[in-house]
Amino acid sequence: MNDNSFDKNSKAGRERRKRNIALALALGGVVILFYLMSIVQWHENTGQ
C-alpha cells in the first residue's frame, strides 16, 4: 500500500501540496515574528 495520501500526478494532489507549502511558510513566518518580538522585548528589559 502506498503511504502517500495523494497521487502526485493528480490535480488534487498538486493543490494539496501547494496548500501545505503555503501553510508551512505562514507558520514559519509566525514563528520568526514571535522570536523577533521576544528578542526585542528582552533587549528592552535588559537595557533598563
| Span 1-48, pLDDT tens digits | 455 555 557 999 999 999 999 999 999 999 999 999 999 998 888 875
Model-wide pTM > 0.85: no
State residue 18's pLDDT score. 96
State residue 43's pLDDT score. 86
What is the spatial distance between Cα 7 and Cα 17, in angstroms, rounded to a whole number? Answer: 10
6-13, Cβ contacts within 8 angstroms, sequence gap of 24 or more: none
What is the spatial distance between Cα 43 and Cα 15, in angstroms, rounded to a whole number? Answer: 42
Instruction: Let me know if residue 46 belongs to a domain.
Output: yes
DSSP state, residue 9: T
Which strand (E) or helix (H) includes residue 41? helix 11-46
Instruction: Let me know if residue 1 belongs to a domain.
Output: no
Instruction: Let me know if residue 2 belongs to a domain.
Output: no
Domain of residue 27: give its range. Answer: 7-48
